[in-house]
Amino acid sequence: MYDVTDLVTGADGLARCAWGCSTPDYAAYHDTEWGRPLRGDDALYERLTLEAFQSGLSWLTILRKRPAFRLAFDDFRIERVASYGEADVTRLLADAGIVRNRAKIEAAIANARAALELPDGLSALLWSYAPPSRAARPESFADVPALTPESTALARGLKRRGFRFVGPTTGYALMQATGMVDDHLAGCHVAAPVAARDGMGA
């Protein structure tokens, strides 16, 4: 059976992956977003951008700043961000509500421009790297990798197309966040049968 130390039962009586019980912000994110299939070019561009900004920081920091990020980046509309110029970089560097890192801001703009060049769109490209569903759900955090052959291939494919801040570890975090893989542990109340992922969120 699964390792109960990796699961925590909250005040609501529901068992969650332990990280999902650490703060109310994480609980909401864990229950309603993480591991659920997400499609759509702008929606996936947002997640790709936020994962890049998270590099070197806690995801909780990014999660709490997400409303400010959405406001600053025009709701992550790819066409809009791709048109940003130096004045927008200066504006973003002055915005205390987001992570003010020039390299990451410039990467977000470059990635929007790269996404516009994709013939089939960003969503189709990212999902083309999604692995098949596992035969069994992970039973502990020890069974959850930091990167995989698929996330390594995803990072290579994105870099080849001009994307920045997209290493294999960031790629796997993106896969987890957008339901390309579902790493909710066995016993977690969110966990659905592993085969249920395919075909959802289209």
Residues that are catalytic: 29, 51, 59
CB 185 within 8 A of CB 191: yes
189 marked as part of a ligand binding site:
no
21 marked as part of a ligand binding site:
no
Which SS3 state, helix, strand or coil, does residue 9 take? strand
CA distance 109 to 96: 18
CA distance 137 to 106: 38
Pair of tokens at residue 35: 């591991």
Which letter, b or e, does each residue of 157-178 get, where b requires 16 or more Cβ atoms within 10 Å of its Cβ? Answer: bbeeeebbbbbbbbbbbbbbbb
Residue type, 12: D
Known binding positions: 17, 30, 184, 188
Known binding positions for Zn(2+): 17, 30, 184, 188
